[in-house]
Amino acid sequence: MSARELVVLGTAGQAPTRVRNHNGYLLRWDGTSVLFDPGEGTQRQMLHAGVSAPRIERICVTHRHNDHCLGVPGVLNRMAQDGPGRPVTLHGPVDAFEHLRGLAVVAQANVQVTVEGVPTLDEFVPVADVAGSALTARALDHRVPAIGYRLTEPDGTTFSAGALAAAGISGPDVGRLQREGELRGVRLEDVSTRRPGQVFAFVMDTRACPAVAEVVRDADLAVLECTFAHRDLDLATSRGHLTARQAAEAAVAAGVRTLVLTHFSQRYDPEDLGREARDVVAALGGSTTVHVAADLDVVPLPGRAARSSVPA
């Protein structure tokens, strides 16, 4: 199987700094790539990161604020240069449809661009199939309509070679057993174990709300913004953002395995925000690993593990 990993292209909140570019996050997933929230300068960051533009099949935008989408024209032009004529689908909230279509028109790139508006609902809505995994989205709570994305691989089955041999099942009969659930008195569960599908989640600008935990529930890797420290909670709430403590609380409650913090206000040292989040994980007795993102980081999805028993 091809690598499943997150390539961080930018981590700044609202304004870039000397060491942090505007947003940009590329997910490599089974031979394809999905680009999330490409802010200004993403095209250049892709060159630094060695990202292959022609592999990008989808660009997913969480909302219409420009620090999350102004890089779209440059990315489309890079795609046209490296793989002319290739199709790409641009997803975003219905509220952002005209804005995203305008950015695609401005690019005047030789790529087949389809812009699709995603309904902003308080429930998950289907967005696309990504290499056999389901990409869905649901509404969050920002100053403009915003959505969080969730990519879920279907659960699978891992067979025990010894159990199959003992049951006298081999060759095409293995597939038949998997399809039918029972064969010659042997049940599927007698010779196999359930393999949970992996989950990736992406949450950008939002206030703390129950939807955050829903989007990241049981995620192997979840990207969450943490624009502010919790001492500035009032400011975070008024501007429609999360604090590092709130991001960590949501991740622990949802059973996230690896939490990637990003979208940092330049008023903070991001490592301080990381410490705030790790303190929360420890205080809650959670097992979530906290990664403070830096530009050009590559964060692999952790190896498969049983899902948590976090209540829905």
Q: Is 65 annotated as a binding residue?
A: yes
The amino acid sitting at 301 is: L
Which residues touch 195 (CB under 8 Å, ≥6 apart)? 155, 156, 157, 158, 304
Is 148 within 8 Å of 201 (Cβ atoms)?
yes
Quote the CA–CA distance of 212 and 133 in Å, as a whole number.
21
Q: Is 279 annotated as a binding residue?
A: no
Q: Where are the alpha helices (DSSP H) in the chain?
A: 42-49, 72-82, 97-107, 161-167, 172-180, 210-216, 233-239, 244-254, 270-283
Phi–psi pair at 233, nearest 5 degrees: -55, -45
Q: Is 68 annotated as a binding residue?
A: yes
Annotated active-site residue 234? The verdict is no
Is 77 within 8 Å of 109 (Cβ atoms)?
yes
How far is residue 148 CA from its own chain's centroid?
8
**Listed residue (87, 29, 91) closest to 60, CA to CA:** 91
Q: Is 48 annotated as a binding residue?
A: no
Residue for token digits 């007795």? 285
The amino acid sitting at 33 is: S
The DSSP-derived string for 117-175 is EEP--SS-EEEEEETTEEEEEEE--SSS--EEEEEEPPPEEEE-HHHHHHHT--THHHH
Q: Is 263 annotated as a binding residue?
A: yes
Q: Is 91 annotated as a binding residue?
A: no
For helices 72-82 and 42-49, angle between their N-to-C axes, nearest 10 degrees: 50
Kindly name the residue from 30, 37, 67, 234 that is annotated as catalytic.
67
Q: Is 205 annotated as a binding residue?
A: yes
Annotated binding site for Zn(2+): 63, 65, 67-68, 142, 205, 263
Question: Would you list which residues are annotated within the binding site?
Answer: 63, 65, 67-68, 142, 205, 263
Give the residue numbers marked as catalytic.
Answer: 67
